[in-house]
Amino acid sequence: MSVGTGGRRLERLLLAVLTLYGLALIVPDFYRLARPLGSFGFFANNDGLIFDVKGPFAEESASPAWQAGLRVGDRIDLPKMRCIPVDTNTCATMLAARGGQQRVMPGRVGALWLAEGSPRAGERIDLAARTPPSNWLLDLIVFLDQGAGALFLLGAAWLVWIRPGPMTWGFFIYAVQFNPGQEFEFYARLQQWPAALLAQEVASGLFQAAGYAGFILFALRAPTGRIETQWRPLERALPALTIALGAISVLAVGSAFGYRTEVLTRIVLIAGLFVSVLVLFILLARRKDLEPQDFQRLRWVIWGCLIGLPACVVASLAQSTSLIEFSLTEDAIGLLFLINGILGIFVVEAIRRPRVINVSIPLRRATVLGLLLSAPALFLHGQIEELHDWIHLPAWASLVIASILLFAISRLHEHGVRLLEGLFDPDRRGAEARFAQMERAILAARSADEIDRLLTEGPARALALSSAAVYRSDGDQMRRYENGVGWTPEMAVVLDPNAPLLAGKTIGPSFEIDPERTRQSDFPQGPQQPALALPVADALRCFAVALYGAQTSGASLDGADRHALEKLAAAASAAYARVEREALRARIAALETQASTGTAPASGALG
């Protein structure tokens, strides 16, 4: 086994271990849908300051903390509750109470002491965790968050698997810590072993620091994996940044040992805000250095960051600290984390594909989805408690309801997008009219050469394609009779239908061309490199294959464009067949004339 092979195996083993670790943090929260977690009914920051005594309960009067006499502004006695020794109920309670929103196992009893200045200072306060009432909306959001978190993490891991390198590893480390999934169940179970929970909090702090640095590394190299010279000093500074933020994150755990560390917690969270701004600055600054098709891929990353990062930052601040003065409900925080999942979708799409469609298309569809769902979401948010009181269902029913709602939403979105794009997208309507005109022209064509020209020049103009050429069937090979768009006479004139480029695909729908198949001087290179192959065939034979480049903007053709081209190919196959039939009739007529007059017919060729 070579050193390279051994290193690759170790890399994949590390990837598998970290992926399982990340999934172990978020997958257990699915169990919350069947058996909700409990809460002490208050939230405290890392200075011990209690800033909320309602917690996840609908009213303060239902909170165990409120019933026990805790009030906003009380402060936990950190020195008295420090984790020395670690394996005590006091330490477990301290770890369950600090650091913002937390959950505990149902029925758990905790012991709490308040500092001087509180009415019950010096007293031991026993708190029994209660399970807050659940509702369908929150259960649905938890279900979506955990599913999105798992897909976010697995997508990032898959990028490392297929394209290992600093770029994909950086995003993967970020995904381990900053995916949309929630980790309440995992931490609630670890509270039974305070030493393990402390170790996990230290590990979480280190992953948070590494995630920030990894995200910057990703921004410096996306989407190609290469870095420009002017950005190398920043890349070399990332280890120092990781060490500094990691040290601050670990020191923030000091509140478990009696020290006030809210300032350190806020430094780390605000650092996340600055990292988000820095990443956007880097991505925007690097746009001008990329080829058109890579520029389109980078636009996906930029828009993913613009949508996902603000949602993630606000949700993290609301969940982990008292830094922001306004409070967000648990379902609102869950929705913000869910929006952050868009970042993962856009990044995976941009990195895994050498060419992508224009990012405005999915953005437009997402906007349509938001408009369609805004009114029902507002209604459910306001009325869900009353609906829950009217209709009593077992906890497992939330899973069934969530699945049904997901299916209904997907169908509604599909039909809504089709309807609204047809009404409000003038470019799409114009393209459809141009393609209808091209179909009529192809069906009226009098020669195969004319069909070739219509199949190249028409789509190239209508879709702003960088290149287009048609290879027509000629015995056991495909031959290019016209130069087309973006092609020269010196480029490949003949294609073997059994070669890897076309093998087994000359009858069927359009398909994307592997860039490696056309990386040679016989084909256009750079922005004009062929990106899509369109078989022109009926059920029995292939008449021709059209090769199209990406759009001049660098964007790939979307599904609607490919569908329009496939309709055009169907018309072209009928036209080629008609031209062949007419040529055969002319040939037969000439032979009949020869037989009747005894003269030789004029020679001719099809086309």
Predicted pLDDT of residue 558: 86
Predicted pLDDT of residue 539: 83
Contact (CB, 8 A) for 216 and 274: no
Residue 470: which of 564, 588, 565 has the closest Cα? 565
Paired residues of 512 in beta bridges = 532
Predicted pLDDT of residue 547: 94
Rounded to whole angstroms, how far apart are CA atoms 156 and 347? 8
Contact (CB, 8 A) for 479 and 472: yes
Q: Which two tokens stand for residue 85?
A: 């020794």
Query: Within the chain, which residue ranges are assigned CATH 2.30.42?
Result: 36-128
Q: Which two tokens stand for residue 59?
A: 């009213």
Does the pLDDT at position 249 exceed 80?
Answer: yes
Predicted pLDDT of residue 380: 54
Predicted pLDDT of residue 531: 92
Q: Is 193 helix (H, G, I), strand (E, B) or coil?
A: coil
Does the pLDDT at position 378 exceed 90?
Answer: no
Does the pLDDT at position 2 exceed 60?
Answer: no
Q: Treating both helix axes as pointing N-terminal to C-terminal, what angle do 136-162 and 166-178 enclose, rounded to 10 degrees?
A: 160
Does the pLDDT at position 366 exceed 90?
Answer: no
Query: Within the chain, which residue ranges are assigned CATH 3.30.450.40?
Result: 429-582
Predicted pLDDT of residue 511: 92
Paired residues of 44 in beta bridges = 50, 100
Please give the full DSSP string across 78-133, using - where no structure is assigned. Answer: TTTT--SSSSSHHHHHHHHHSSBS--B-TT-EEEEEBPTTSTTTTSEEEEE-BPPP
pLDDT (tens digit, 9 = 90+) per residue, 97-115? 876 567 888 888 888 888 8
pTM of the full structure: 0.83
Average pLDDT over residues 41-46: 87
pLDDT (tens digit, 9 = 90+) per residue, 110-146? 888 888 877 778 888 888 889 888 777 788 889 999 9
Rounded to whole angstroms, how far apart are CA atoms 514 and 491? 18
Residue 174: which of 138, 207, 222, 149 has the closest Cα? 207
Q: Which of 295-299, 352-356, 396-400, 485-489 has the lowest mean pLDDT?
A: 396-400
Average pLDDT over residues 210-218: 97
Does the pLDDT at position 251 exceed 90?
Answer: yes
Predicted pLDDT of residue 403: 62
Choices 3.30.450.40, 3.50.30.30, 3.40.50.1820, 3.30.70.270: CATH for 429-582: 3.30.450.40
Q: Is 496 helix (H, G, I), strand (E, B) or coil?
A: coil
Predicted pLDDT of residue 604: 47
Residue 294: which of 363, 220, 355, 242 has the closest Cα? 355
pLDDT-above-90 percentage for the chain: 43
Judging by beta carbons within 10 Å of its beta carbon (0-12, 13-18, 19+), is residue 581 exposed, middle or buried? exposed
Paired residues of 533 in beta bridges = 511, 547
Query: What is the identity of the amino acid at 365?
Result: R
Average pLDDT over residues 35-61: 87
Does the pLDDT at position 275 exceed 90?
Answer: yes
Rounded to whole angstroms, how far apart are CA atoms 358 and 373? 24
The answer to whether the bond into 166 is cis (omega within 30° of 0) is: no
Q: Is 359 helix (H, G, I), strand (E, B) or coil?
A: coil
Query: What is the identity of the amino acid at 370?
Result: G
Residue 607's pLDDT band (cuts 50, 70, 90):
very low
Query: What is the identity of the amino acid at 94?
Result: M
Predicted pLDDT of residue 363: 78
On average, the pLDDT of the chain sits at: 85
Query: Within the chain, which residue ranges are assigned CATH 1.20.1070?
Result: 136-356
Residue 60: which of 353, 376, 52 has the closest Cα? 52
Average pLDDT over residues 579-586: 90
Contact (CB, 8 A) for 535 and 508: yes
Does the pLDDT at position 462 exceed 60?
Answer: yes
Q: Which two tokens stand for residue 589?
A: 């007529």
Predicted pLDDT of residue 1: 39
Question: Distances in Å between the alpha carbon of 488 and those of 440, 454, 463, 519?
Answer: 28, 18, 21, 16
Predicted pLDDT of residue 425: 56
Does the pLDDT at position 404 exceed 80?
Answer: no
Residue 597's pLDDT band (cuts 50, 70, 90):
confident
Q: Between these two residues, 399 and 352, which has the higher pLDDT value?
A: 352
What topology is assigned to 136-356 in CATH?
Answer: Rhopdopsin 7-helix transmembrane proteins (1.20.1070)
Rounded to whole angstroms, how far apart are CA atoms 502 and 509? 12
Predicted pLDDT of residue 458: 92
Residue 112: which of 131, 98, 101 has the closest Cα? 98
pLDDT (tens digit, 9 = 90+) per residue, 494-553? 998 888 888 778 888 999 988 888 877 688 988 899 999 999 998 888 999 999 999 998
Does the pLDDT at position 5 exceed 80?
Answer: no
Q: Between these two residues, 8 and 1, which has the higher pLDDT value?
A: 8
Average pLDDT over residues 361-369: 69
Contact (CB, 8 A) for 381 and 335: no
Does the pLDDT at position 247 exceed 90?
Answer: yes
Contact (CB, 8 A) for 537 and 570: no
CATH number for the segment(s) 36-128? 2.30.42
CA-angle at 168, arms to 165 and 169, nearest 5°: 75
